[in-house]
Amino acid sequence: MSIATLDDLMPTVNFASRATTQAAMDWGVRLIPDCQLVYVVSGQAELTVGSNHYIVRGGECVYYGPECPHRLSASGMTDYYSVHFDWKQSSSLPVHPAHRIRFLEQDGLIGDTRNPILDIPPFGKVLLPTRFSVSGLEPILTRIVKEYELEQPGYAVTLRGLMIQALSLLFRQLLDKGTARKPHNRIDPAIQAMQEQPGRNWAVSELAAMCGYHPVHFAKLFKEEMGLLPKHYIIGERIKRAKRELLHGEKVEVISETLGFASIHYFSHQFKRLTGLTPTEFRMHGRPPET
């Protein structure tokens, strides 16, 4: 599926939300009329497209397009963004996809997603994978959700601009990586440990031993597969945990200490760097209702 060049994009955001499932959730086997981007903030989701099954962890996205049979589910409490969009429409006004979604029987889960290919001269063509990770996307998604919900004058055009910004960021990082990131099953033990205990002061040697690698080789492999070093990954995991604690009313100083930050100032600096908001602003902003 080719979408010409980046300059040709005229995306229309049809729906945008941020929600948190309080228990396991299964949206069933379905077909959507447009494209969907799901970004998991924390928790875990699963996507099945034909014979391919993807586990989506915090900080990862999945993409699938129109008329692509798929099944999406969430395991327990999962915080996520959902954006429905069209790649190119003359009108920027959202057209809600709900009434055009078709639900299928389990045996309708056949075929594979037709992933888009974008030509970005002079860098070449880039394939958008089904599952990927991209840093810096969350602040843009937050603004997209806010614009969509408030519907202020010019919101549709603003949504188009923000979606172009999100897609540009996405494809830029895919170009930097050269190819879509490979599954990180080789470092899964370390990833699981950091996700379960983000407040622990992990040493690279400990993480490397879990995966059976020398620390130097482990750090290199981790950077190749995750796009960042273990020390930066653990900061991201701490911030994800901090978001949940903030929304449950925990004090900033308690969160900072529990998650192993050297000081409240350092915690606040890292929080704003990754989310675009201070801890206090994030707590005040809250979450849109689940949809």
For residue 82, the tally of other CB atoms under 10 A from its CB is 18
Confidence class for position 178, pLDDT limits 50, 70, 90: low
CATH 1.10.579.10 fits 185-285, yes or no: no
- Residue 5: CB partners within 8 Å, gap ≥ 6? 118, 119, 120, 121
Asked whether the beta carbons of 191 and 184 are under 8 A apart, the reply is yes
12-21 and 70-86: which strand pairing? antiparallel
pTM score above 0.95: no
Look up residue 218 and give its two tokens.
């482990």
Residue 97 clears pLDDT 50, i.e. is over it = yes
Tokens representing 278 are 């201070």
* % of the chain surpassing 90 pLDDT: 52
Q: Residue ranges per domain, the chain? A: 2-177, 185-285
CATH classification code of 2-177: 2.60.120.10
Which helix (H) or strand (E) segment holds residue 193: the answer is helix 188-196
Do residues 263 and 256 touch, judged by C-beta distance below 8 A? yes
Name the nearest CA neighbour of 14 among 135, 136, 101.
101
- Environment class of residue 231 by beta-carbon count within 10 Å: exposed (0-12), middle (13-18) or buried (19+)? exposed
Q: What is the pLDDT of residues 106-141, one digit of tens each?
A: 766 666 667 888 888 767 788 889 999 888 899 999
| Mean pLDDT (the chain, rounded) | 86
pLDDT at 226: 77
